[in-house]
């Protein structure tokens, strides 16, 4: 019975992964309109708010359905799926599930699973971009309300996020509000690991390629590969 419940849970997750990813893009677009289009007509802002609320509700329903199908206690389920629980509270962190989305797309088109290093680079790279964009929206949203903040435009927030993710930290643009600094801490925690995964996997992939070429050795008699003997 437990195996059957776990199978139903896995089937539900596989079938909803792509739709929920598209819903996360809709959520991000609606949130971007709310933050960036402050001078837009109230109708568009209301539509964006509805999209944000509806997609957020989809994430909550998905989490509850998976909890019921798993037949696990809520505390144990949250402990095993802490990232999913965090995404329900902060939907802008949905890009952190990109690895499952990538696998779902590959399976849908019957494509063979890619190697470890390309998968890590693709997952971490896309996640870093989406997470950085979400973080810039969040920082700009909370910082522009404080007159003492040096972040006056969205591009100031993007510059701040780039410094945070790359750990450069010039210090010319920094968040001053409590919520802005909390977002920056989240970017440091998740973003640094993602960028580290990209650079580490890329370096390991290069070493693997050069090692393979070294093991093959140079062609005999100085002739190029494929040349007639």
Regarding whether 150 and 74 lie in a shared domain, the answer is: no
Regarding whether 183 and 125 lie in a shared domain, the answer is: yes
Regarding whether 185 and 140 lie in a shared domain, the answer is: yes
- pLDDT tens digits for 96-123? 665 555 555 555 555 555 566 666 677 7
CATH number of domain containing 204: 1.10.287.70
Regarding whether 119 and 65 lie in a shared domain, the answer is: no
- pLDDT tens digits for 63-77? 899 888 888 888 888
What was the pLDDT predicted at 28?
87
What was the pLDDT predicted at 129?
82
In a domain, 100, yes or no: no
Contacts of 122 (CB under 8 A, 6+ apart): 102, 114
In a domain, 160, yes or no: yes
- pLDDT tens digits for 199-223? 776 777 677 767 777 666 555 555 5
Tell me the residue range of the domain where 170 lies: 114-216
Q: Domain end: 60, 94, 128, which one?
A: 94
What sign has the CA pseudo-torsion 13, 16, 21, 25?
negative
Q: Domain end: 94, 128, 161, which one?
A: 94
pTM: 0.69
Regarding whether 137 and 85 lie in a shared domain, the answer is: no
In a domain, 222, yes or no: no
In a domain, 14, yes or no: yes
Q: How far is it, in rounded angstroms, from Cα 13 to Cα 9?
A: 6
Task: State how far the alpha carbon of 58 is from the alpha carbons of 10, 35, 39, in Å.
Answer: 18, 21, 28
Whether the Cβ atoms of residue 156 and residue 140 lie closer than 8 Å to each other = yes
Regarding whether 154 and 88 lie in a shared domain, the answer is: no
What's the domain count of the chain? 2
Whether the Cβ atoms of residue 24 and residue 62 lie closer than 8 Å to each other = no
Contacts of 179 (CB under 8 A, 6+ apart): 138, 142
Q: Which of 180, 98, 94, 192 is nearest to 137 (CA)?
A: 180
- pLDDT tens digits for 138-169? 999 999 988 899 999 999 999 999 888 887 87
In a domain, 109, yes or no: no
- Cα 190 to its chain centre, rounded Å, is 9
């Amino acid at each position: 019975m437990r195996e059957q419940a776990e199978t139903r849970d896995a089937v539900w997750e596989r079938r909803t992964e792509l739709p929920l990813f598209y819903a996360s893009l809709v959520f991000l677009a609606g949130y971007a309109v709310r933050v960036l289009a402050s001078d837009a007509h109230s109708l568009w802002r209301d539509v964006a708010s509805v999209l944000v609320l509806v997609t957020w509700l989809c994430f909550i329903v998905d989490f509850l359905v998976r909890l019921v199908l798993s037949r696990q206690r809520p505390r144990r389920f949250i402990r095993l799926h802490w990232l999913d629980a965090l995404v329900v509270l902060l939907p802008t962190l949905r890009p952190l599930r990109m690895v499952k989305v990538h696998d779902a797309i590959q399976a849908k088109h019957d494509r063979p699973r890619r190697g470890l290093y390309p998968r890590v680079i693709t997952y971490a790279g896309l996640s870093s971009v989406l997470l950085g964009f979400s973080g810039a929206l969040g920082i700009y949203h909370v910082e522009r309300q404080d007159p003492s903040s040096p972040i006056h435009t969205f591009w100031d927030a993007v510059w701040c996020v780039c410094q945070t993710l790359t750990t450069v930290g010039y210090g010319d643009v920094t968040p001053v509000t409590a919520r802005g600094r909390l977002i920056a801490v989240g970017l440091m925690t998740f973003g640094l690991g993602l960028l580290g995964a990209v650079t580490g996997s890329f370096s390991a992939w290069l070493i693997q390629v050069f090692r393979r070429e070294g093991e093959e050795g140079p062609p005999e008699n100085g002739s190029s590969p494929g040349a007639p003997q």
